[in-house]
A and B are shown apart, each in its own frame.
Chain A
Amino acid sequence: MAPLRLVPRRGPDEVALVHLVSSVTAPLGGDDLELRIRVGPGASLELRGVAATLALPGRHPGGSRALVQVELAEGASLEYLPEPTVITARACHEAVFRAEMAEDARLRTREILVSGRLNERSGLLSTTLDVRRNGPVIKQTSHVGTPEVDGSPAGLAGRRVLGTELLCWGEDLPGAVSEDWWSLVPLARGGSLTTAVADDAVTVERALDIARGKHPGSGDLF
C-alpha cells in the first residue's frame, strides 16, 4: 500500500492539479518515503497537500526519511505546496527536496516547519532544499530541534515556526525586500527565496504570501 495517495482533479485545466493525501500515518520512525516527479516539456503541475504532516517517532531507533526528487523538462512548471510539517517530541526525521530543472522551467516550492505541537518540545528534523539549473541555484539544510541553535538569534531566534519559499519563476527583483522577520532575496544565479520565522504557522504563511506578492512572477501564481 502506498503511503501517499495522489488525487488528480478532473477537468480540462491548463494546469494539472494533484492533491497529496496521506493514506497511512507517516512518517514514522523507520519509514523511508520517496516521491519522484517528472514534469514533461511545456507541462504544468500543481501538487498540493491537504493536511499537515506529523513526523512521529517509531518503535525502532533510526528515524525516518522522505525524499522528493523532481525533474523539470524545457518549459515545464511545478508548484509543490505541501502543508506544514510538525516535528513531534522524540521524532527524528530527514527530508530532502531535490530538483533538476531545464533552463526555462519554472519551480515554486514552499516549506513550513513547526517545532513540536503546542507546548511540546521539538523532535529533530533536518530538511534540505537542493535545486540545480545548469549549476547550483540553492542548497540549504535547515536543522530544527537543537535547543542551542533554535533559541539563538542566529537560528530561529526562539520562534517555533520556520517557513521558506523558493521561486524560480521568471524574472527576480533586483534587490532584497525585507521586514524584521521575513525577507525575499534574489539568489546569486537566478531564483528568489523567502525566509520567515514566527511563533505560529498562520503568521509565517501570511509573511510568505506578502513576500510572494512582491515577486514579479506573482501574477501567474495563487
Chain B
Amino acid sequence: MNLAALMIADSRFPGGGHVHSGGLEEAVARKLVTDEPSLRSFLVGRLRTAGALSAVFASAATRGRYAELDAEFDARTPSPAQRNASRVQGRGIARAAKRAWPSPVLTELLRVTPRPHHPVIVGALVGDPFEAAQTVAYHAVTGPATGAIRLLGLDPFGVNAILAHLSSEIDAVAAMAADHADTLPEDLPSPSAPGLDLLAEAHDRHHSEEVRLFVS
C-alpha cells in the first residue's frame, strides 16, 4: 500500500476526521448501539451503504472528472448534514495535502472544487483505484469504531477485533468499487443509507441544542 494511503487512514493524520463519528454518537444516544454486537451491526451497515458509496467515488476520482463527481456525489447524499461533514473532512485533508503532497493533480482538484468531498480528494491523492477505495471504506468504519470506545467505554481490544474481522468485507467493497474506476460519473452506483441519513439530521439538530462530543 502506498504511503499516502497509510497516512490518510492513520487516525493521527491531521485532516480533522477525529471529530466525526459518522452517526454513531446519535445511534448511541438512542441506545441503538450499546455493546459490541450492536456496534458490529452498525459498522457492517455503514460499510455496505455509505462506505460503498464513498469507495466508488474514491476509485472514480483516480481518473479525474472532479466537477462531475462532485455533483454526482451531492445527488447521492440527500442529507445536508452528511454533505457538509464530507466537505469539511475533504477540506481538512486538502489543508494537510497542500503541504505534504503538492502536485498539479491536487491544484486542479482544488481549482475545480475548493471544498472537495472527502472520497474525491482521497481518490485524487492515493491514485490507485483499489487502494483509494480501501482507504475510504476503512475510514467509513474506523471513525465510528473509535467513537464507540469513547462514548460507550467499550473494550478497545474488542472493538479492534471487530474492525480486523471486517477486513474481507472491506476488501470486497473496495474490489467492487475498483471495478467502477472508469464508469461514467452519472452511472456510478448510488447505495442509500436511510438510517444514517436520519441519524445525521437528528445529530445536527441535537448538536445545536445540547452538548455533543462529535460534530457528526
Contact = CB atoms under 8 A, between A and B. Distances in A.
A178 B196 contact: no
A175 B196 CA distance: 18
B195 to A, nearest CB: 5
B201 interface: yes
A154 B80 contact: no
A187 B74 CA distance: 8
Given A139-B190, A154-B23, A180-B202, A149 B48 contact: yes
Interface residues of A, number: 38
Nearest to B78: A193
B71 A149 contact: no
Contact of A152 (B41, B71, B76, B81): B41
Nearest to B28: A153
Given A149-B49, A183-B79, A155 B74 contact: no
Interface in A147-200: 148-149, 151-157, 162, 164, 175-176, 178, 180-183, 185-189, 193, 195, 197
B32 interface: yes
Given A153-B45, A178-B201, A180-B30, A141 B79 contact: no
A188 B113 CA distance: 15
A136 B186 contact: yes
Contact of B45 (A154, A176, A188, A195): A154
Interface in B71-98: 71-72, 74-81, 83
A142 B192 contact: yes
A187 B193 CA distance: 15
B142 to A, nearest CB: 15
Interface residues of B, number: 41
Contacts of A135: 71
A109 interface: no
B46 interface: yes
Given A149-B44, A152-B41, A178-B198, A136 B78 contact: no
A180 B41 CA distance: 19
Interface in B122-148: none
Contacts of A185: 78-80, 197, 201
A67 interface: no
Interface string B183-216: 0001001111111111101101100000000000
B46 A152 contact: yes
A66 interface: no
Contacts of B78: 138, 140, 185, 187, 193, 195
B66 interface: no
A13 B55 CA distance: 49
B27 interface: yes
Contacts of B199: 153-154
A22 interface: no
B190 A140 contact: yes
Nearest to A152: B45
A180 B195 CA distance: 10
Given A139-B190, A140-B78, 6 more contacts: A141-B189, A146-B48, A151-B45, A154-B48, A155-B48, A176-B79
Interface of B: 23, 27, 30, 32-33, 38, 41-42, 44-46, 48-50, 71-72, 74-81, 83, 186, 189-199, 201-202, 204-205
Q: Which 7 residue pairs are nearest across A and B when measured between Cβ atoms?
A: A152-B45, A154-B45, A136-B75, A188-B74, A140-B192, A178-B201, A153-B32
30 contacts: A130-B190, A135-B71, A136-B71, A136-B74, A139-B75, A139-B186, A140-B191, A148-B45, A148-B48, A152-B41, A152-B45, A153-B23, A153-B32, A154-B42, A154-B46, A154-B48, A154-B49, A154-B50, A154-B193, A155-B193, A156-B195, A175-B80, A176-B201, A176-B205, A178-B198, A183-B197, A183-B198, A185-B80, A188-B77, A195-B197
